[in-house]
Structure 1
Amino acid sequence: MSNREKYVPGSAAGAAVQKDGEKWTLILVRELRHPPAMVWQALTDPAHLSEWAPFDADRNLAAVGPVKLSTVGTPAPQVSETTVKRAEAPRLLEYGWGGNDLRWELEPLGSGTRLTLWHNIDRRFISWGAAGWHICFDVLERLLVGEPIGRIVGAEAMKFGGWQRLTAEYAKQFSVETPG
């Protein structure tokens, strides 16, 4: 049995929602054992992104400017032509994806990194977003420790053991309905 087959996401944790009327922002925090420079590479290098992120990038995200992000795991390819707005290695990264904003902040934490993601997301799907990023972060952690299990995104993530439970746990934490 591979590490991938053994993988089950842990309990919903490290997420919060900032509510501003209809505009909701998902805030996810994960403490990683690796230094910011290593985490930065995983967040910006297309070869690393293809191991854990829900999209592929047509260039390195470490520089400001236009970029194409292709969503993975969707029935039809979805390409977002977007812009990296801020890239301050190894501390801050901001860009758009699918009409929403992503902001990544990396803070040194001992010999590791506190990684925070802000993602404004349709409130009807905020528990799905939290569950999806939770799984992506788990896969990222395994990649960083040198035990990659391959990305788990989109429809495949929804088939994974623990997806329904994780979505329901986040929905309960955020006091929202679980998406149909």
Structure 2
Amino acid sequence: MRSREQYAPGAASGAEVRKEGEKWTLVLVRDLRHPPAKVWKALTEPEHLREWAPFDSDRNLGTVGTAKLSTVGAPKPLVSETRVKRADAPKVLEYSWGEQDIRWELEPQGGGTRLTLWHNIERGFIAWGAAGWHICFDVLDRFLAGESIGRIVGGEAMKFDGWQRLTSEYAKQFGVETPGWPSSAPKR
């Protein structure tokens, strides 16, 4: 079992960017060794989201309707009202997070799930978004395997070994500049 202190993100992989005019969408794919029903619970149930996601929800996201998402690790509290637009368990989940659209697709694959995330993000932050979701997916996979290391998001994610490398790798893959580092992020 790997501990939080031993965690380091792997190489940038499974991501692409789709551009429609000025709208940039990050598409991140991860094959998980867990069945869709188990992954669905992790994407929708508040107690599961608290283990890996960059936000908390005030209710289960598995049904259409409004919810409040509270960003974790933000410099100041950031709560946004969201509308779950589609919740077809355990296949498709769509909602907004702030001004950004989020879409999850779960495809059965052997005994596991191919999880695909679509997240529209401003061009200047898309490499950070990819790195952040990459780390969230790593933590999610460990949580689903019963090896929780606790969520790693926001400024805390930026302190992990490999964050800058991962962000730079995604920026290169996407053909964008590596974002400037906030003063709170350590230089390594």
TM-score, normalization by structure 2: 0.94
For 1:17-166, list aligned pairs within 5 A.
17-166=17-166
**In structure 2, what is the Cα distance between the partners aligned to 1:82 and 1:113?**
26
CA RMSD of aligned residues (A): 1.0
State how far apart, in whole Å, the 2-side matches of 1:95 and 1:63 are: 10
Deviations 1:81-127 (A, max 9, x none): 01000000000000000210000000000010000000000011000
Offset at residue 49 of structure 1 (A): 0.1
Find the aligned partners of 1:51 and 1:32 in 2 and give their Cα distance.
16
Identity of paired residues, percent? 75
**Partner residue of 2:186?**
none
Q: Deviations over 1:17-36 (max 9, x none)?
A: 00112100000000000000
* Structure 2, unaligned runs of 5 or more: 181-188
Q: Using the alignment, how far apart are the partners of 1:104 and 1:165 within structure 2?
A: 26
CA distance in 2, matches of 1:34, 1:133: 18
Once residues 57 and 37 of structure 1 are traced to their aligned partners in structure 2, the CA distance between those partners, rounded to angstroms, is 19
TM-score normalised according to structure 1 size: 0.99
- Paired with 1:98 and 1:138, the residues of 2 have a C-alpha distance of 24
Cα distance in 2 for residues equivalent to 1:171 and 1:120: 16
Residue type at the aligned position of 1:107: E
Q: Deviations over 1:127-174 (max 9, x none)?
A: 000000000000000000000000000000001110000000000000
**Distance apart, 1:59 and its partner CA:** 0.2
Distance 1:95 1:164 in 2: 29
The whole-number CA distance in structure 1 between the counterparts of 2:6 and 2:54 is 21
Task: Work out the CA distance in 2 between the residues paired with 1:31 and 1:66.
Answer: 29
**Alignment-derived partner of residue 14 in structure 1:** 14
- Give me the whole-angstrom Cα distance separating, in 2, the residues matched to 1:168 and 1:75: 23
Q: Which amino acid aligns with 1:85?
A: K
